[in-house]
Structure 1
């Protein structure tokens, strides 16, 4: 089956991570699957209002903003979901009676309407995955909140084909109209998990919203999970490589898709008005 951009079913789009220098936050990062991009910032631990204070751990407060308009029901629901996904990765008990605040912002969505703030349009699975990964990168950038692992997410789509149904990794917005199902998978990668090591951590599935418009069986869900875990591990590798660029202004870590050769290049200067200046690794 030919995908709209020529990728194989197991290929991710180009991954990009930019560590932003935003004012009045402790860490910020932009994450992208191709043109599907999100920005996240982390503040904390900081002083918390009395009505939100927890005596035994920090309060985790997450706000998700669409590309346009104000946050609606879809954005608020995603904020709640993201809180459940990230909480297992954070050691909030180390900073009781404080606040850790994460703000996520969609940077795309014009193609599908997802991320535009339109009620009922929802956020497509790839955009949800980019918000999760941007939040994880921002937490790594802040380094002010202890973490037991890193959460990485990817989307899996289900596309009808001549041989039946085929699962594809990281569907683009151009492919959304062809999907008969799919969802986002979020994994926690940590060396403290069973069989995990510092170089090749184990992955544990934290959350998925995989669903289809026709019945599916356990075998299909298993295949989707395995496909997603392989993609999420590529995200983790890219995030690991990106740590070396955090001190470089506007540096971007980029991992090519499998269909393209990887190159190593250093770029010392970037145009101030460009969001896509890249250091390729």
Structure 2
């Protein structure tokens, strides 16, 4: 079954990463699959409120904001999900009694309604994947929080042929905004790529091992079997590997820019630095 854009089932849209260098944060980045874009910033380690202080590790806060309107219950739920996804990749014990704050912002949704939170269709899987990747890129850009791995995410869609209601759904990688109405399920898969994980035999020597951290894969109006889930997981892992390669290429090409606050610190040396951080 052909896709609307002519892509193959296992083909990602064009991915793009831009390290924004936003002022008064320690790291920031924009990540997109085609028109599905997100922006994220990282502040920290910074001073933490006494009631949130942990004596053994840094406190992690994640805030997700829709394209428009105020963050609602669904945005807060997504914030909690992203926090649980990112924690395994961070060495928060290296900075106890501090705060690491991540703010993610949806930059798309004008056509599909997704990205508007409760005011629209909520957060579809491709947008969730772009938010996860933007947060990972911002953490890499900040370089202020030790990491034991990089989290990369992609979406898988169950695409049904509109000409036949009896045919089995086809699994496709990275469904676009235009394909949302044709989906009968799917979800986001998040993997951590790390050299600390055991490497399987006959694996690519240039790609670190990966581990599935989270997925919300589901079927609309019915169940799915183990074989379908394994096919979806493998398709997602291959796609996440391409995202990891995009991260690697962006670093090798020298696209990482140090935030303006770091440049100011070097120039001012002894002058006190305002710890107040500007969120996106």
Q: Report the TM-score, using the length of structure 1 for normalisation.
A: 0.86
Q: Give 2:188's match in structure 1, choosing from 167, 184, 193.
A: 184
The root-mean-square deviation of aligned C-alpha atoms, in Å, is 1.5
Equivalent residue for 2:256?
A: 246
Poorly superposed stretches of 4+, deviation over 4 Å = none
CA distance in 2 between partners of 1:5 and 1:128 (Å): 21
Q: Give 2:226's match in structure 1, choosing from 214, 218, 223.
A: 218
CA distance in 1 between partners of 2:114 and 2:128 (Å): 10
8 Å contact kept, 1:158–1:182: yes
Aligned residue pairs total 249
User: What is the CA distance between 1:209 and its match in structure 2?
Assistant: 0.2
CA distance in 2 between partners of 1:122 and 1:30 (Å): 20
8 Å contact kept, 1:102–1:135: yes
Q: Give 1:174's match in structure 2, choosing from 174, 178, 190.
A: 178
User: What is the CA distance between 1:240 and its match in structure 2?
Assistant: 0.8
Deviates more, 1:204-213 or 1:194-203: 194-203
Equivalent residue for 1:268?
A: none
2:160 partner SS: strand
1:9 partner SS: coil
1:157 partner SS: strand
Cα 1:248/1:198, change in 2 over 3 Å = farther
Equivalent residue for 2:272?
A: none
User: What is the CA distance between 1:119 and its match in structure 2?
Assistant: 4.8
CA distance in 1 between partners of 2:131 and 2:75 (Å): 11
Write out aligned runs for 1:1-281 (5 A): 1-119=1-119, 121-161=121-161, 163-195=167-199, 199-213=206-220, 214-243=222-251, 244-247=254-257
CA distance in 2 between partners of 1:17 and 1:109 (Å): 19
8 Å contact kept, 2:69–2:119: no
CA distance in 2 between partners of 1:95 and 1:222 (Å): 38
User: What is the CA distance between 1:34 and its match in structure 2?
Assistant: 0.2
User: What is the CA distance between 1:164 and its match in structure 2?
Assistant: 2.2
User: What is the CA distance between 1:122 and its match in structure 2?
Assistant: 2.0
Deviations 1:84-141 (A, max 9, x none): 0000000000000000000000000122211113257320000000000000000000
1:240 partner SS: helix
User: Which is greater in Rg?
Assistant: 2
2:247 partner SS: helix
CA distance in 2 between partners of 1:230 and 1:248 (Å): 31
Gaps of 5+ in 2: 260-280
